[in-house]
Every structure is written in C-alpha cells, then in structure tokens.
Amino acid sequence: MDALTPKERLLRSLAKKKVDRHPVICPGGMMNAALVEIMQKSGHTLPEAHHVDSLMRELAYDVEENTGFENFGIPFCMTVEAEALGSPIDFGTLSCEPKIKVEAFQSVKDVQFKPKGTMAKSSRVAAVVQSLHYLSQKYPDIPAIGSLTGPLSTSASIVDPMTFLKQLRREKEAAHKVIDYVTQHLIEYARLMVDNGATVISIADPTATGEILGPKMFKEYAVFYLNMLTDAIHEMGVPVIIHICGEMAMVKPQIAELHGDAISVDAFVNLKQMKEEYNTLTTMGNLSTYLLEFSNPDTIYKQAKVLLRNNIDIISPACGLSTSTKLKNIQAFTTAIKEE
C-alpha cells in the first residue's frame, strides 16, 4: 500500500526528499494526455474543453482516472498565453490540438505591449484557473499541475517565429524587451494559477532548445528568462518543472544552470548519464511518445521498468503525446511504475 498521497510523493520528489516509490505524471500543456479514446468514452471533449471550465476540469479528472497518471494537468494546449497577448487561435478538433492561426506581429519591433492585468481578463485563463481551483479543492491529495508555455515559445507565438529567431541576433534589445514583457505576463498567469490551488507549475519551452538556439543564445535567452520565471514562481512558494525539448548535448552545462526543481527531457536524452554527471539534478522523463503510440503494452511495460532501474526521479512521457495513443499503452506505463 502507498504510504504517501500522490501530491506528497510529487512534492517530496521535487524537494529531493525520500519517497515510497517514483511518481508517474503527465503535466498537461504541451504534454497533454487528453486522448481521443478517453474523450469518446466520457463525452467531455475537445475543442470545447479548451474554453469551458466545467468541461476542462471534468476532462482533467477523466485523464487522471483513466490513464493512471498521478496528477491533474491543465490546460490541454500551448496557446492560452499567446491568445491573451494577441494571436488568433485555431482551436483544432477532438484529435488535433489548437494552433496559432497567425502570429499577431511580424517583428519584435511591432509588438503592442498589453498592460498588466491582461492575463486576468482572458476567458481561457479564467477557465484554467477556475478548473485548478475546483480540482485542488475537491481532490486535495492529487497534485494539480498548471502548465505554462515558456517565454521564448510564447514570444515566438506572438511574433513570426522565423523573424523572431533572426532578431535574437540582429535586434537584441528589442527582442529582450519583448521576451521580458512576455515573461512578466507569464508570471502574472502563474500567480493566478498558484492563487487558485496549483500544486506545481510546469513550463514547456519547445522553441528554447539547444538545437535551435545553440549554447550562447540558449544561455542568453532561454536560461535567463526561464530562471526569471522560475524564481518568481518560487517566491510564490511553488515548485517548478522545466521541460526542454530536443537533443541536449550542446547545452548540457547550461541545463545545470536552470533553477527548476526538476528537468524533464526528450526520449533521446540519456537521463541515467545526465543524473551521473549532475547528481544534484532532479530528473524527469522520458518514455518515448513514439513507443507509447506505436508499440504494445508489453514493450511499454518493460521500457517503463528501465526508467525505474535507472532511478529517474519523476517518471513521465518524454514529450507531447499523440492524442491517438491507445489508453492500454498508457495504462501499461503507469501500472509498471505504480507496482514498484
């Protein structure tokens, strides 16, 4: 029998304290686990659940109940922040996640800065925080994770990403101004989540990868703004998970500079080796989402056991799940961890 509640287990893992077994989670946002199979069964469906708080919280509950992941994870996409800051959104379908229709601005120099309080006025932010409030009150033993899109990815969702990336070199001052502005709004959004019961904040920043930026810009932009955001959330008394996409060989030393309480990584990163190299790092990951979609429960079960053998601190999928992933595959994954 488990000695700790899922919330205690996750919080203790993030605080580097002893736990009875490894937690297995899926934080939402980019790592959304609202599978088509679950939605078809429960009738709480996307895209509607991106907007309506009662549906959002029901779907988050369905995901936790059906998959075996030991958390609620909301929202189910990466567009809440960019929408609040001006980009129009295509909300997708049951199986296809929302996306930015077109970025609001062509250049970092065109950005129209919205005032403080903008996040609080967004109806989708309201749906997220109301859902967090409800779930954290009703199920106090289960961690409610609020997912944020990171500073660079949100910036590249309001400014044309190709121009944005060039301007990181050519228009440094204006680029910093925009990313700082975005980060301040993200802090405001995180505060709304925390004030409404978020146990943990998880930040995914897929534009902020070593592969895209290289080590110098990764440090100058990604590490700097992720740390600014993380430090502000820490001041609110809540731990932070940071997910870094892509291959990390190029930016390994910079990863150690991140202030997050756990670092979540992609499938092709050798977490065991990373743990050995940086023994103070709390690691999270990293079961291949490709395996979860295309493999079978037996293989997935065995692969999950490998993560346990490697003593990865918090077990989770390696990146964004395909919504067509079979539920039985996810269940094989979570079962393997829970029977430890």
Partner 1 sequence: MADAVAEAKEEIRRRLADAIRDMEVETAADTARVITTAGWFEMELLETAVAAGMSEASRLYEEGEYFIPELLSCADAAEEATKIFRPYMMGQRPEPKGCVVIGSVAGDTHDIGKNIVALVVEAAGYDVFDIGRDVSAERFVDAVIEKQADALALASLMTTSMNHMADVIQLMERRGCRQSCRVIVGGKPISPSFAQKIGADYYSASAGDTVRILDEIMKTHGN
Q: Which parts of this chain interact with partner 1 (CB under 8 A)?
A: 92, 95-97, 99-100, 161-162, 165-166, 168-170, 211-214, 217, 245-246, 250, 289-290, 293-294, 319-324
List all residues 6 or more positions away from 159 whose beta carbon is below 8 Å from its beta carbon.
103, 104, 105, 106, 107, 108, 110, 111, 167, 178
Output 113 or 294, the one with its CB closest to partner 1.
294
Output 134 or 225, the one with its CB closest to partner 1.
225
Distance in angstroms (rounded) separating the CA atoms of residues 264 and 294: 22
Minimum Å distance from CB 231 to partner 1? Answer: 26
Minimum Å distance from CB 290 to partner 1? Answer: 6
Output 46 or 127, the one with its CB closest to partner 1.
46
Minimum Å distance from CB 243 to partner 1? Answer: 14
Instruction: Find out whether 92 and 34 touch, Cβ atoms under 8 Å.
Output: no
- According to DSSP, the residues that pair with 264 across neighbouring strands are 243, 284
Distance in angstroms (rounded) separating the CA atoms of residues 136 and 142: 7
Output 129 or 175, the one with its CB closest to partner 1.
175
What is the number of other CB atoms lying within 10 angstroms of the CB of residue 113?
12
Output 71 or 157, the one with its CB closest to partner 1.
157
List all residues 6 or more positions away from 62 whose beta carbon is below 8 Å from its beta carbon.
34, 38, 39, 41, 42, 44
Output 146 or 246, the one with its CB closest to partner 1.
246
27 preceded by cis ω (within 30°)?
no
Minimum Å distance from CB 148 to partner 1? Answer: 19
297 preceded by cis ω (within 30°)?
no
Minimum Å distance from CB 236 to partner 1? Answer: 31
Backbone conformation region of residue 283, classed left if phi is above 0, alpha if psi is from -120 to 50, else beta: beta
Minimum Å distance from CB 9 to partner 1? Answer: 28
Minimum Å distance from CB 3 to partner 1? Answer: 35
Cα angle value 290/291/293 (rounded, 5°): 65
Distance in angstroms (rounded) separating the CA atoms of residues 231 and 68: 31
Minimum Å distance from CB 269 to partner 1? Answer: 13
Tokens of 99: 């996306």
Output 5 or 295, the one with its CB closest to partner 1.
295
Output 67 or 230, the one with its CB closest to partner 1.
67
Cα angle value 63/197/332 (rounded, 5°): 25
Helices (H), 76-171: 80-84, 118-121, 123-138, 151-158, 161-170
